[in-house]
Amino acid sequence: MDLQLQAQEILKDNWRDGFSIPTAKLYPFQWLWDSGFVAMGSGYFDLDKSIQEIKKMFSGQWGNGLLPHILFHSETEKSYFPNFDFWNSNINKGAPHFPKSSGITQPPVFGFIIHQLLKGNPKNEKLKSFITDIFPKVVNAHRFLYNYRDHKKEGLFYIYHPWESGRDNSPIWDDALNRIEITPGSIPSYQRRDTQIMDASERPTSDKYDRYVYLLELGKKYKYDGKEIAESSPFLIQDCMMNSILIKSNDSLIQIGKEFDFDTSEIEEWQSLSTANFHNKFWNDDINYFVSYDCRSNEQILHKEIGGLVPVFANLANKSQVEKMASYLTNIHERGYYLCPSFDIDSPLFDSKRYWRGPVWPQMNWMISEGFKNYGYTDLSNIIKDDFIELVTKLGFYEYFESEKDKVKTLTKGYGGNRFSWTASSIITFLNND
Ligand code: GLC
């Protein structure tokens, strides 16, 4: 069966009642950015399904605008930790009672996702009327970030939990997490589920997990939107990738708004503040790379990590910066790695197998390849695309992949969950989007 058909089959299997799970067993609910990428891929063969997927995601939006990172559409499915009862998000008055949800967010992808759907189907009336309905909700999700998460009014929002970044276990969070002291009684007792399902060597360590629980409890204490979070969280980071995606999505909303004759003045104000501060905050001249910013230590986090390539997707890099990013990736390619490893291959913290510490991730490759394509780096963009397609062809539709070519030669499968939705949807998007 060809790749596109296999991918469609997987998305069909992962479809539940109006939404897609990322993969059976490990992730049995709806995740925010997974859902966005799935909606984009489905748009190439079943637009109705993508519309339903996005509607279902926004059925979980809170009164304050927050779009949760997980919607627990089933309350009887108990195989995941932390479940809806552990989050207890109804301590926030604006959190819906159904679907139940987590209390934190994930990358704000829906602005650029709906724009992508519109570009592929510019005359579809059903899509246009859907966009008219969903537009204010997407704007409201951005408003949440500007109102509740931009404590310095810089137009750059913070996250207080690594799970919000989508890159849960990246080494860039290590220092901030190590600030958290776990003492007896500082966190409730809990039982992980992920390591019962997956190989523990591919998953975060239990020290890390304690700290994830600590930050969850901190959010809960302040009802997930209190200003005390910014005052007291040991983990408070302006993430370069999250803010790039916000800016990319703002830009999409502005373009859609102009086409549909919606008022975009509020988004334009956000956008000018965000873009004005982006470079000073995130570019680092010493390592020639975009980095994230730790608001507790007031320093940039000096690592070459995959999120630092996403400004290219958001058209935020100037000519010389994009050139530097391109030679960084070309060098990695020439040294025998698949693009794009999620972390600096020369760092002692690099681990080509462990979650977000080195492997290749499908949806990241799509964003980065798209970014370089738009800057005119066609060859590099194609390498990023072809590497991903080769990995899926060799190793299957896994959640993420080994980045060292020599190691791949000895492997028969990828890492993490199999028959993974974002892998399938990234394949479809790549194959249909030249
Ligand atoms: C993991 C990933 C996150 C993703 C989720 C569901 O937690 O780190 O980015 O959204 O799995 O696939």
CATH code of the domain in which 232 resides? 1.50.10.10
* Whether residues 144 and 283 fall in one domain: yes
* Whether residues 277 and 134 fall in one domain: yes
* Whether residues 305 and 326 fall in one domain: no
* Whether residues 305 and 334 fall in one domain: no
* Whether residues 268 and 400 fall in one domain: no
* Whether residues 152 and 259 fall in one domain: yes
* Whether residues 226 and 324 fall in one domain: no
Print the domain residue range for 292: 115-309
List the one residue out of 236, 239, 336 whose CA is nearest residue 296: 236
Residue 151 domain-assigned (yes or no): yes
The whole-number pLDDT of residue 366 equals 98
**Res 337 pLDDT > 80:** yes
* Whether residues 162 and 288 fall in one domain: yes
Q: How far apart are CA 33 and CA 274, in angstroms?
A: 21
* Whether residues 138 and 190 fall in one domain: yes
* Whether residues 358 and 297 fall in one domain: no
Residues marked active site are found at 168, 399
From 31, 35, 102, 426, mutation site for ligand 1 pocket: most ligand atoms within 8 A of C-beta: 31
pLDDT digits (tens, 9 = 90+) for 214-223: 999 999 999 9
- pTM, two decimals, is 0.98
**Res 434 pLDDT > 80:** no
Mean pLDDT of the chain: 97
Residue 70 domain-assigned (yes or no): no
* Whether residues 296 and 340 fall in one domain: no
For the residues 278-283, what does the mean pLDDT come to?
97
Q: Residues lining ligand 1, judged by CB closer than 6 Å?
A: 22, 27, 31, 33-34, 166, 168
Q: How many domains does the chain have?
A: 2
Atom of ligand 1 nearest to the CA of 32: 10
